[in-house]
């Protein structure tokens, strides 16, 4: 039997669709249903690799974990990774297909609808309930003709729709009424409930607004979900960085300061989320030299445009500041694109990422990078060979997503040795170590998710690790408990068609 479906759309980006889907996945999984998330098209620089080596949006991996299942490429068949203001890399069915301008991609959209239908159909045959996430707003009038992410998907599988709005940014009633007004009549009929998200304060402040909203739209508000502070769950994309700390608290002298360089094309910034959970450290996403200079540790995260972000680093004066910190013995860690910047040079002979055939790196680690057309996407296990502040002689887990390959001029002196890729045995050197272990580069994402790595790193900074590995599950449960407590789930059961079932 084909699974039941529910679609969560939003009045705009960053209203909380991804987290709402994660919460619903956990709620219904706890009640005994086999639940899977789905998002037809995801535009994000935070991505993840499935056990089969397919690249999908990070949010769908989080939602799958919330449902207690392994992530699959069926959950996100189209991933767009922005490379500039007007173009992106198109990842189709988990593999990089091409780089396209926005105009070219919109022309390509109609051909992708069969791909979307195929993936969703397969998911529905495997699960009891599929919870679908929309993208942005369903009433972007300039894009509706070639919609592949919102009402097209709802109509494809005859899904009822929940419309989520963010009250924290203001104008919640106007955004809900305006969205309904711009929908076509058949589309409005699909919207079965509103969810008002990120509410602060006393619900009595809403007054008779909810009744007025019902009278104007005919759609009930199924819940007003409170603002959850410091939720330790990876969010959708770089929009969420607007809520992250950008400067250190000068009055806070009891924690170690970790500066994450906020590149213009930052990707997979959720790598540092496990460090943000640690009470003994203060993490800030910085773009100024002074924050770099006062940090106890600097992290160079991933980048979708490594050469452009390296040039930006130099223009901001941060490159020189990093060299000074290295001379002073301050620890610096580079991940993926950040790792490549730490090497001697970056070569791109085929113009895979940029128009520069070769640029000089920071020269802090003894390797160079060559960009190749083939993209490596793999879940990996690796052993720390001489990883300095990131621990030695222990097995770690993570994942790779990169087109730049590391090369050594002489005998490799890696930080790690990758032992398996997608379950297959390999022997691949990774990264490097310099300055007596205080500078470390690695191509492996998710490195800080390993408890021993965090423990060693924080010990090197003079503090202790306190966050356990069960943190994610407890935070997902906190999210699900909150949503379940403030949303009329019985009404939601009726909308989905579950009201007659007795769930464990």
Q: Which two tokens stand for residue 313?
A: 């680093």
Mean pLDDT of 43-49: 89
Mind listing the pLDDT tens digit for each residue in 322-363? 999 999 999 999 999 999 999 999 999 988 888 899 999 999
Bridging pattern class, strands 4-10 and 161-166 = parallel
Bridging pattern class, strands 302-303 and 266-267 = antiparallel
Q: What's 66's DSSP letter?
A: H
Number of H helices, E strands in the chain: 15, 26
d(CA 351, CA 358): 10
How many CA atoms are closer than 13 Å to the CA of 144, on its beta-carbon side? 11
d(CA 443, CA 432): 10
Q: Which two tokens stand for residue 208?
A: 């008779």
Mean pLDDT of 5-27: 96
Q: What are phi and psi of 27, to 5 degrees?
A: -60, -50
445 contacts: CB under 8 Å, gap ≥ 6: 268, 271, 302, 335, 336, 398, 399, 400, 401
CA torsion 222→228→234→238, rounded to 10°? 90
310 close to 344: Cβ distance less than 8 angstroms: no
Angle between helices 318-327 and 306-315 (to 10 degrees): 80
The pLDDT of residue 339 is: 97
Mind listing the pLDDT tens digit for each residue in 297-329? 999 999 999 999 999 999 999 999 999 999 999
Mind listing the pLDDT tens digit for each residue in 125-170? 999 999 999 999 999 988 888 899 999 999 999 999 999 999 998 8
Q: Where are the domains of the chain?
A: 4-232+474-496, 256-460
260 close to 272: Cβ distance less than 8 angstroms: yes
Beta strands, E only, 19-104 = 35-38, 41-43, 47-49, 55-57, 78-82, 87-92, 95-101
pLDDT at 501 over 70: no
pLDDT at 398 over 80: yes
d(CA 385, CA 416): 5
DSSP-derived 3-state class of residue 229: coil
The pLDDT of residue 467 is: 64
Mean pLDDT of 371-380: 94
List for the chain the helix, strand, coil content (%; round to 5). Answer: 35, 30, 35
Please determine whether the domains at 4-232+474-496 and 256-460 fall in the same fold group of CATH: yes
Mind listing the pLDDT tens digit for each residue in 66-105? 999 999 999 999 999 887 766 788 999 999 888 888 888 8
Supply the mean pLDDT for the chain: 91
* CATH dotted code for 4-232+474-496: 3.40.50.300
The pLDDT of residue 99 is: 86
DSSP sequence for 332-376: EEEETHHHHHHSSEEE-TT-SS-S-SEEE----SS-EEEEEEEEE
pLDDT at 503 over 60: no
122 contacts: CB under 8 Å, gap ≥ 6: 74
Bridging pattern class, strands 221-226 and 191-199 = parallel
Mean pLDDT of 442-459: 92
Mind listing the pLDDT tens digit for each residue in 402-430? 999 999 987 778 999 999 999 999 999 99
Q: Which fold has domain 256-460?
A: Rossmann fold (3.40.50)
The pLDDT of residue 504 is: 43
In the β-sheet with 221-226, what is the strand arrangement from edge to edge? 35-38, 129-133, 4-10, 161-166, 191-199, 221-226
The pLDDT of residue 495 is: 97
Mind listing the pLDDT tens digit for each residue in 208-261? 999 999 999 999 999 999 999 878 777 665 556 667 788 888 777 788 999 999
Q: Which residues are catalytic?
A: 336, 445
323 close to 350: Cβ distance less than 8 angstroms: no
List the Cα angle 258/59/42 in 5-degree steps.
115
DSSP-derived 3-state class of residue 455: helix
Confidence label for 469 from pLDDT (cuts 50, 70 and 90): low
**Overall pTM > 0.85:** yes
């Amino acid at each position: 039997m084909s699974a039941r479906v529910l679609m969560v759309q939003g009045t705009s980006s960053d209203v909380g669709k991804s987290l709402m889907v994660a919460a619903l996945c956990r709620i219904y999984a706890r009640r005994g249903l086999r639940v899977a998330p789905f998002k037809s098209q995801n535009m994000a620089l935070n991505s993840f690799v499935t056990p089969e080596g397919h690249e999908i949006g990070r949010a769908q991996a989080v939602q799958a974990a919330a449902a207690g299942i392994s992530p699959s490429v069926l959950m996100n068949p189209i991933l767009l990774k922005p490379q500039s203001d007007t173009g992106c890399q198109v990842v189709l069915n988990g593999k990089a297909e091409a780089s396209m301008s926005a105009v070219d991609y919109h022309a390509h959209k109609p051909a992708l609808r069969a791909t979307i239908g195929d993936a969703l159909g397969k998911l529905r045959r495997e699960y009891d309930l599929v919870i679908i996430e929309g993208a942005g707003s369903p009433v972007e009038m300039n894009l509706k003709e070639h919609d592949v992410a919102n009402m097209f998907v709802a109509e494809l599988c005859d899904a009822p729709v929940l419309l989520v709005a963010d009250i924290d940014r203001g104008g919640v009633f106007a955004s809900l009424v305006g969205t309904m007004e711009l929908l076509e009549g058949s589309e409005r009929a699909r919207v079965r409930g509103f969810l008002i998200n990120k509410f602060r304060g006393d619900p009595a402040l809403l007054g008779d607004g909810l009744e007025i909203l019902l009278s104007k739209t005919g759609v009930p508000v199924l819940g007003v979900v409170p603002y959850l502070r410091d939720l330790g769950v990876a969010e959708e994309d770089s929009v969420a960085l607007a809520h992250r700390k950008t400067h250190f608290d000068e009055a806070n002298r009891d924690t170690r300061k970790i500066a994450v360089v906020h590149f213009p094309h930052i990707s997979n910034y959720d790598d540092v989320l496990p460090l943000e959970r640690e009470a003994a450290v203060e993490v800030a996403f910085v773009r100024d030299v002074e924050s770099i200079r006062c940090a106890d540790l600097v992290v160079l995260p991933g980048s979708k445009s490594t050469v452009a972000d390296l040039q930006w680093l130099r223009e901001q004066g941060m490159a020189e500041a990093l060299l000074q910190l290295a001379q002073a013995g301050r620890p610096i860690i580079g991940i993926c694109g950040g790792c490549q910047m730490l090497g001697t040079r970056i070569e791109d002979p085929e113009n895979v990422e940029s128009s520069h055939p070769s640029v000089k790196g920071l020269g802090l680690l003894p390797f160079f990078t060559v960009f190749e057309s083939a993209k490596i996407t793999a879940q990996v296990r690796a052993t720390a060979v001489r990883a300095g502040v990131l621990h030695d002689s222990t097995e770690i887990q993570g994942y790779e997503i990169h087109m730049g390959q590391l090369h050594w001029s002489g005998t490799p002196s890696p930080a790690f040795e990758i032992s398996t890729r997608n379950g297959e045995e390999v022997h691949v050197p990774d990264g490097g170590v310099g300055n007596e272990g205080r500078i470390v580069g690695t191509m492996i994402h998710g490195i800080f998710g390993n408890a021993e790595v965090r423990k060693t790193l924080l010990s090197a900074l003079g503090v202790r690790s306190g966050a356990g590995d069960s943190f994610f599950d407890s935070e997902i449960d906190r999210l699900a408990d909150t949503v379940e407590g403030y949303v009329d789930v019985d009404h939601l059961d009726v909308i989905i068609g579950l009201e007659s079932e007795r769930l464990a």
